[in-house]
Amino acid sequence: MLNVVKKLENGALFIALEGELDTLSSPDFEAELEPLLPEADSVTIDFEKLEYISSAGLRVLLAAEQAMEEKGGQQVKVVNLNDTIRNIFNITGFEDVLSLE
């Protein structure tokens, strides 16, 4: 299960995720995220309470990064990664695609 908290203020989109971003939850997260991207100049996603991310979740992040790049927005920033998820980003090369903090 994935809980999503979204806040869009002055073009800055902040999203906090809690739970697992996996094959089951990724389509719902993408459906929530996609309509907000045209209004966003920047996207920050907080992984502090995210326990797991699958390849389906990575695909949603990649799509968001591509959407931001196409419109000339800032790179998607991911903050508060735990060691397990940071390792997944390292192995898959996503550390070079997204801004990690």
Question: Tens of pLDDT along 37-96?
Answer: 999 999 999 999 999 999 999 999 999 999 999 988 788 999 999 999 999 999 999 899
Tokens 């980003």, residue located = 89
Enclosing H/E stretch for 31: helix 26-33
All structural domains of the chain with their residue ranges: 2-100
pLDDT at 73: 75
Rounded-to-integer distance, Cα 90 and Cα 12, Å: 26
> Contact 29/3 with Cβ under 8 angstroms?
no
> Contact 47/81 with Cβ under 8 angstroms?
yes
User: What three-state secondary structure class fits 76?
Assistant: coil
Tokens 């800055």, residue located = 12
Share of residues in the chain with pLDDT > 70 (%): 100
Assigned CATH topology for domain 2-100? Transcription Regulator spoIIAA (3.30.750)
Structure tokens given for 2: 């994935």
User: What three-state secondary structure class fits 88?
Assistant: helix
